[in-house]
Amino acid sequence: MSIYSKNYSNFGDTSNFKVGSVNWRRFMSCTIHYKGTLKVNHNLNDVLEIVSKHLKNINAILDQTENPIIINFLQGQSESLVFDFKNKSLDNFFRWNGENPEEFFRIFDMFIEIKQLFNSMKIDDDEGFWHEYVIQKQSCKIKLRQLYPKESEFLERMKINENIQLDKIEELVMTKSRFTPFYKNLLRVIVQDFIAIMKIECVDDFNPQDIMELIIESKFLPEYFKRGMGSFDFYFNRMLLAIWLSHTFEYKEKGKAVQV
């Protein structure tokens, strides 16, 4: 068994991510929250220097260079990105709603560098993009082992899907899922299983009520699933995964997955 490091930092041009006829740019609208306190040896000018450097890769301008630092975007309908310091601390958020997803990830690159100036800086968003992007940027060590037959079958389905266009049902479910494009091949297999589990044979068969009823029967029932149909669109991606996991894995008493 060997161990090696793999670097996941190269995504390529994220603005052109497509699966079949789904263009991933339609998903890229997100609120980013950021808060923290600057280190003693850093100040607003250090933040401004990093911001100015990264704006070369973002279609935006500095509207104000004193406190608060204000960045205005030139395309789309994004809110201004503001760094409003109070005694070296900030607690801000803004909603990015641009036209090019590549710009969204360049904003994350800027935050990654700015974060180093802070004693502790918490960054998150309402879709989980930040957490996923940071993990993808890191190197990791992987233990190699022989794949189980079911795992090989799963990977083979992912390969086959690369050369097959989405059908209308798959496109509908993937669009509603609002997941990021990084794992599009994996997502499509999950979506195909979900469609089979729900016995969806045409677009009109997609029934939120049926999905809510099945989620109640699943092994995964977080509190937010109990809020009713009013939250369906927002939580559908979590419901999709919960249904898939509960029907795809077998469990021991403590919930450890033993078979795909």
Choosing from 99, 118, 139, the residue where a domain stops is: 139
- Is 126 inside any structural domain? yes
11-25, 87-101, 146-160, 174-188: segment of lowest average pLDDT: 11-25
Q: Is the pLDDT of residue 184 over 70?
A: yes
Give me 59's structure tokens: 């279609």
Shared domain check, 254 and 153: yes
Give me 66's structure tokens: 């004193």
The Cα 187–Cα 169 span in angstroms is 14
Shared domain check, 160 and 116: no
On whether the CB atoms of residues 127 and 40 are closer than 8 A, the answer is no
Instruction: Determine the pLDDT at residue 1.
Output: 27
Provide the pairing of β-strand 60-64 with 3-7.
unpaired
The total number of structural domains in the chain stands at 2
Shared domain check, 190 and 100: no
What is the mean predicted confidence (pLDDT) over 100-126? 91
Shared domain check, 159 and 103: no
- Is 45 inside any structural domain? yes
Comparing 140 with 104, which gets the higher pLDDT? 104
Instruction: Determine the pLDDT at residue 223.
Output: 54
- Is 3 inside any structural domain? no
Shared domain check, 127 and 221: no
What is the band of 195 on the pLDDT scale with cuts at 50, 70, 90? very high
What is the band of 132 on the pLDDT scale with cuts at 50, 70, 90? confident
What is the band of 180 on the pLDDT scale with cuts at 50, 70, 90? low
On whether the CB atoms of residues 109 and 53 are closer than 8 A, the answer is no
On whether the CB atoms of residues 249 and 260 are closer than 8 A, the answer is yes
On whether the CB atoms of residues 33 and 130 are closer than 8 A, the answer is no
What is the band of 20 on the pLDDT scale with cuts at 50, 70, 90? very low
Shared domain check, 200 and 83: no
Phi–psi pair at 209, nearest 5 degrees:
-65, -40
- Is 4 inside any structural domain? no
Choosing from 87, 119, 139, the residue where a domain stops is: 139
Q: Is the pLDDT of residue 257 over 70?
A: no
What is the band of 231 on the pLDDT scale with cuts at 50, 70, 90? confident
Shared domain check, 121 and 24: yes
Contact partners, residue 244, CB within 8 Å, separation at least 6:
190, 193, 194, 197
Shared domain check, 227 and 154: yes
Q: What is the mean pLDDT of the chain?
A: 79
- Is 103 inside any structural domain? yes
Comparing 212 with 35, which gets the higher pLDDT? 35
Shared domain check, 234 and 130: no
Q: Is the pLDDT of residue 23 over 80?
A: no
Shared domain check, 232 and 179: yes
CATH number at residue 73: 3.30.70
Instruction: Determine the pLDDT at residue 65.
Output: 86
**Domain, as residue range, for 113:** 14-139
Comparing 46 with 260, which gets the higher pLDDT? 46
- Crossing angle between the packed helical segments 232-248 and 184-197, to the nearest 10 degrees: 80
Shared domain check, 251 and 153: yes
Shared domain check, 153 and 135: no
- Is 5 inside any structural domain? no
Choosing from 139, 171, 192, the residue where a domain stops is: 139
- Is 2 inside any structural domain? no
- Is 253 inside any structural domain? yes
